[in-house]
Structure formats: structure tokens, C-alpha cells
Amino acid sequence: MISYIYWDPDPVAFRLPFFDHPVVWYGILFALGFFVGFYLLQFLFRRFLCFYPEFTEADIVDWEKIFQRKRETKEDALNRLNQELDEKPKNELPPSFLFQFSKRFLSEEKFRRLKNRIRLEKTLGSAVRSLKTRSKLFSERLTIYMSIGAVAGARLGHILFYEKWTYYLMHPLMIFKTWEGGLASHGAVIGIFIAMTLFYLRSRKEYPMISIVRIIDLLVIPSLYAAVLIRFGNFINQEILGTVTASSWAVVFGNPAGGLPPLPRHPAQLYEAFFYFLSFLVFFRFFPKWLFPAGKIAGIFFISTFTFRFFVEFVKEEQSFHLANHFLTMGQYLSIPYILIGVAFLLVPNRRMEHLSKN
């Protein structure tokens, strides 16, 4: 006789004092994903900036401290600073993880310019923004855009792809009740893309080395980390259920979402969480090697992640109101375009970025 795992946790982690408002595990894990994702993005973008040590206007905080003569223009001052990057370094960088990264993956010329950049940052002090400060500002702004885009896209995507639209037309305020569940990852990707495009249009002058494709590359690793936590949140909420199975590792959910019967099911949420965690480790390990050409990380991510999503849907219950009794699920139909986008990223690389990676 098979002994199945019985799973019926309390989705509420605690209640706020005085307000008696429940704080659910899903919300905690969702927020933690963005919180840690911010630091991951900052870590990755700082290393990305090592390939672009040149000063830009956005780096200068106090032009008066930069000018060496009265009639020197901003362009002349920037040219002078960047010419100093080509000089023989006067001292070595202190041993650090960033130093080891730069020495290993940067060309000799880029490494020399980076060392001079760091020396000038110390000499000029508050007159310029350091690479560390620039990576922090970039990550803060992008994380805000991504948070709004992901939540809005996930919620609207769930309503459009999985629910009865007429219900929300009659009860529009229900759209905003994200804490009651109903977020779609495919919709989140669309929302993130829109938010990322808006961010790029605002920031392209300040960060001339980035592109929309490059931003996607940088977001892959933080997104995978967040996806792991979100799927654990789904597991606690007993939602996104697997199909009924007699497998020895099946889970009996005590109060499954959607009113489904408490039968032994595939723990599909854990399948996804495990895959995303392994993907996170692989992408983090090969980030420097896959950084060029632009779009390589994004292409591998879209193909691997959504191919997995396509096949794991075979052991998941159909969630969409619109596709009852179809051969493919809504999740499978939505995964196909993302796989094709990934192929396009790999077949049509960014030539400019590919050229820069060889310098």
C-alpha cells in the first residue's frame, strides 16, 4: 500500500497586530524574491559595467571639480578623463572577487582601463559616480519598474487567459485583489517586457551600453530566483495543482484550490521550483561566459524554461476557463511564442555587442 504525503499547511504566516490583517506565506515569498532579486541584479550589473569603464556625462556629479581650465567644455573634460584610462596603471586593484572576475574575463586593454577608472574614482571622490553607485541606481530603478510590471502583468494575464472576463467587468475592483490569488507567469513576462521597455526609453542616454535585449539578459538570473520562491508559495497555497497520479511521491492536498477533490497528485509546483533552482545555478555559473553576444542568455533562458513549462503542463490540471477539454493547455499555448522568441535571440545576435566583447 502506498503512503502518500498529506499537505495542508496554514497559508497565513501571521497577523498584523492591532489591524488583525493576515500576512500570507505567498506574499512573503513573492516580496522576498524581489528583495533578493534586487541585490542579484546589482551584483550582475556591476560586473557588466566592468566591460564599459569609460566615463559618460551621467557619471559626473560636479563638473566644477572636473574642469581643469576655465573654457574647458564637458566633452573636452570627458575626453581627457577617458584618455587617462589608457595610461599605465599606477597601482594594482586590491584583491577582491570583482578583481578576480575582471582579470579573468576582461581583455588586457579593458582591465587596464578599469583599474585606471577605479583609481580616478578615488581621486575625484564625490565629483563622479563610481561603478558601484551606478549599478545600485540602475538596479533600484529597474526593480521598481519590474515589480509594477510583473504584478500588473501577472494579474491581468490571469484574468485574460484563465478567468471569465464578464465577471471582472461586473466587479472591476476584484482585479486589484492580488492577495486572493490569481497571477499568471506568462502574463508577468508580458508585463515585465512592457515595464522594461519604458525603463529603457527613460535610461538609454544615461546608460548607453544597454539595450532592451541586454536588460533581459540581466534579468534572467534574478527572475529565476524569484520563480523558485513563487512556486513554493503556490505549493503552500495548494494551487497550480498537478494531475491525479499513483506515483509514490504524490501529494494529497487537504484543501486544494478551485474546489478539486483531495486526491494524490503530482507536486507540479515543486517540479517547477526544482527546475528553476537548477537553472538559476547554471545561469549564475556561466553568466560571464554567456554575456556576449547580447541575447545569448535571454535566448537560452526562453528556450529552456518555456520548453520545460510546455512539458510539465502535461502533469498539471487545466486552469483556464477558455480551454476545457483541449489537447493542449493554456500554459502550453502561451509557452510556444516564448520558445520562438528564444530561438530568435540566438539566431539574430546583437552584432554591436558581439564586436565589443572581442575588444
pLDDT at 355 (0 to 100): 42
8 A C-beta contact, residue 153 and residue 192: yes
Q: Range of 266's domain?
A: 5-51+131-356
- Kindly provide the b/e burial profile for residues 335-345, where b requires at least 16 CB atoms within 10 angstroms of the residue's own CB: beebbebbeeb
Q: Are residues 253 and 298 in the same domain?
A: yes
Residues 292, 331, single domain; the answer is yes
How many degrees, rounded to 5, is the angle at CA 38 between CA 207 and CA 235? 140
In a domain, 180, yes or no: yes
pLDDT by residue (tens digit) across 155-199? 887 777 667 767 667 766 666 666 556 667 778 888 999 999 999
pLDDT in tens, 206-234: 999 999 999 999 999 999 999 999 999 99
Contact call for residues 223 and 15 (beta carbons, < 8 A): no
Q: Evaluate whether residue 95 is within a structural domain.
A: yes
Considering the domain architecture, whether residues 194 and 277 belong to the same structural domain is answered as yes
Strand pairing report for 22-24 and 251-253:
unpaired
Q: Which of 151, 126, 149 is nearest to 195 (CA)?
A: 149
Report which listed range, 153-157, 266-270, 321-325, is most confident. 266-270
Residue 206 lies in a domain: yes
User: Residue 354: is its pLDDT beyond 50?
Assistant: no
Cell numbers representing residue 182 in the block: 490569481
Q: Which residues pair with 253 in a beta bridge?
A: 7
pLDDT, one tens digit per residue, over 117-131 is: 888 888 888 899 999
Residue 359 has pLDDT above 60, yes or no: no
Same domain membership, residue 202 and residue 190 = yes
For residues 240 and 309, membership in a common domain is answered with yes
- 114 shares a domain with 256: no
302-333: b (≥16 Cβ within 10 Å) or e: bbbbbebbbebbebbbbbbeebeeeeebbbbb
Residues 67 and 210 in one domain: no
Q: Is residue 56 included in any domain, yes or no?
A: no
Predicted pLDDT of residue 345? 92
Q: How far is CA 321 from CA 154, 166, 329, in A?
A: 17, 12, 11
Model pTM score? 0.86
Domain assignment of residue 11, yes or no: yes
Question: 40: pLDDT confidence band, cut at 50, 70 and 90?
Answer: very high
Instruction: Using a pLDDT cut of 90, give the percent of the chain over it.
Output: 47
Mean pLDDT of the chain: 86
- The letter for the amino acid at 319 is Q
Residue 114 and residue 135 in one domain:
no
C-alpha distances (whole Å) from 140 to each of 39, 55, 137 are 9, 21, 5
Q: How many domains does the chain have?
A: 2
202 with 290, same domain?
yes
Final residue of a domain: which of 69, 98, 127? 127
Helices (H), the chain: 25-49, 63-66, 74-84, 97-105, 108-124, 131-162, 165-170, 185-203, 212-237, 268-290, 296-312, 330-347, 351-356
pLDDT at 326: 66
Q: Let me know whether 329 and 185 are in one domain.
A: yes
CA distances from residue 111 to 1, 51, 52, 118, 123 in whole angstroms, order as listed: 64, 8, 10, 11, 19
Average pLDDT over residues 236-264: 90
> Is 32 a member of any domain?
yes
Residues 236 and 326 placed together within one structural domain of the fold: yes
The verdict on residue 153 lying in a domain is: yes
Domain boundary among 127, 148, 166: 127
pLDDT grade, residue 260 (50/70/90)?
confident
Are 203 and 169 part of one and the same domain? yes
338 domain residue, yes or no = yes
